[in-house]
Amino acid sequence: DVKVTQSSRYLVKRTGEKVFLECVQDMDHENMFWYRQDPGLGLRLIYFSYDVKMKEKGDIPEGYSVSREKKERFSLILESASTNQTSMYLCASSFLKLDRADTQYFGPGTRLTVL
Amino acid sequence: AQKITQTQPGMFVQEKEAVTLDCTYDTSDPSYGLFWYKQPSSGEMIFLIYQGSYDQQNATEGRYSLNFQKARKSANLVISASQLGDSAMYFCAMREGGDYKLSFGAGTTVTVRA
């Protein structure tokens, strides 16, 4: 079974803090993704990575950066957290490249609150 | 423009009955894939079923089936014989052929009543 884990289920941070969200997958997947989930908006892609040290902006990259130093680990960084970044963050990974049938597997999510 | 539209924010269904969740999509790419995910209150997104744009038959996985109507650009999920454990939010998503990412709808919350 594919296992995607995220470092925290719940996180509370203060405005202006630097925040790291970690994601690890154990299936040797090439692709990894960070989404943000807000009520009524579904999931929106922040960043994704298709290989180590490679990254691409998604639909809402502003205020975020990412790091992928190892294949199994993809980190989302909030350089200076703001209250409008309070949200549920979901990490996903997938195996095949540019295949429409490629299924993404998700972690349990991190619910981040910025005060 | 919204690529995936789910018009039902919430639905109630009686245990053991079937329920249909609506999903319409918008793409000009002839090659695409459609996915349904389930998100229980625990938060994890669980993959349920996949339909490819070139697939001739509707996809089925256990109690889940996908009613794929290509000309109407709809991909409705049917859950048969609903169980209490089916209570969750359900998301429809699409990947277009040359893209890595999934585009998600806003989701539909299903509540199964005993």
| Tens digits of residue pLDDT in B53-68 | 999 999 999 999 999 9
Q: From the CA of A105, how many Å to the nearest CA of chain B? A: 7
Q: What is the mean pLDDT of each run of 10 residues along chain A (115 residues)?
A: 87 97 93 93 92 92 96 96 97 76 88 96
CB contact under 8 A, A100 and B4: no
User: How far is it, in rounded angstroms, from Cα A73 to Cα A5?
Assistant: 10
Asked if residue A103 lies in contact with residue B50, where contact means CB atoms within 8 angstroms, the answer is yes
Q: Residue A36 contacts by C-beta under 8 Å, 6 or more apart in sequence?
A: A43, A44, A46, A60, A87, A88, A89, A90
* Closest approach of A46 to chain B, Cα-based (Å): 10
Question: Is B102–A45 a contact, with Cβ atoms under 8 angstroms apart?
Answer: yes
Please report the pLDDT score of residue B99 as a whole number.
79
What is the least distance, in Å, from the CA of A110 to any CA of chain B? 9
Give mean pLDDT, residues B73-80: 97
pLDDT value of position B27: 94
The residues facing A13 across adjacent strands are: A114
Q: Assign residue A53 a region: left if phi > 0, alpha if psi is -120 to 50, beta otherwise? A: left
Partners of A2 on chain B (C-beta within 8 Å) are none
Q: Of all helices (H) and strands (E), which one includes residue A91?
A: strand A87-94
Give how far Cα B103 sits from Cα of A5, A49, B32, Å.
22, 16, 11
Give Cα separations from A23 to A36, A70, A98, B31, B99 (angstroms): 14, 11, 22, 30, 22
The predicted pLDDT at position B72 comes to 96
